[in-house]
Structure 1
Amino acid sequence: MTKKGLAELLKYSSPQEIYVITHYNVLKRIFCPFQVLILQEIGELQKGQVAFVTEVKVTLGIKTVFIINNEAYYYSYFDIII
């Protein structure tokens, strides 16, 4: 995706919220900061620890990134706690 295409896509999103589908197929909007469970050790974060996501970003490759303690991590390392 080009930077222009990404800019167009991001006009409709916010770094302060994320939409998730629960186990019961319910769409929920969650606002930052929200809690996540760390699924594997990454950087200074330990498996099983709970952390707070302060922002949600998107890479040029359209991958979701969570900002935790001012560091960016791919969303796949976490489970969102609802």
Structure 2
Amino acid sequence: MNENELAELLKYSSPKELYVVAWNNILKVLFCPFKVRVMYAIGGLREGNLVWVEEVKVTKDLVTVYMIKGKAYHYYHFDIII
């Protein structure tokens, strides 16, 4: 995906909200900040801690990234608390 295609895709997204499908197949929107549980120690975060996601971003490879305390972490390191 080139930069123009990425820019076109991102103009419809917001860094302050995330859409998720809940366990009961209901589409929910989470507004930042929202809580997540750290699945295993990464960076300065310890396994099991609850932290707040400040923003949701996307890499050039379209991987979702959570901004936590000013640092970027891939989404798969966390479990969303609804």
Deviation readout 1:25-68 (Å, 9 max, x if unpaired): 10000100000000010000000000000000000000000000
The code of the aligned residue for 2:32 comes to: C
Q: Give the structure 2 partner of residue 40 of structure 1.
A: 40
1:13 aligns with 2:8: no
The code of the aligned residue for 1:42 comes to: I
Deviation (angstroms), 1:8: 0.3
CA–CA distance in 2 between the matches of 1:25 and 1:76?
A: 20
- Hey, which bits of structure 1, 4+ residues long, moved more than 6 A? none
Q: Give the structure 2 partner of residue 66 of structure 1.
A: 66
Aligned residues: 82
Deviation (angstroms), 1:69: 0.3
Structure 1 segments unaligned to the other structure (5+ residues):
none
TM-score where L is the length of structure 2:
0.99
TM-score where L is the length of structure 1:
0.99
Question: What RMSD over aligned residues (CA atoms) do the two structures have, in Å?
Answer: 0.4
CA–CA distance in 2 between the matches of 1:4 and 1:46?
A: 38
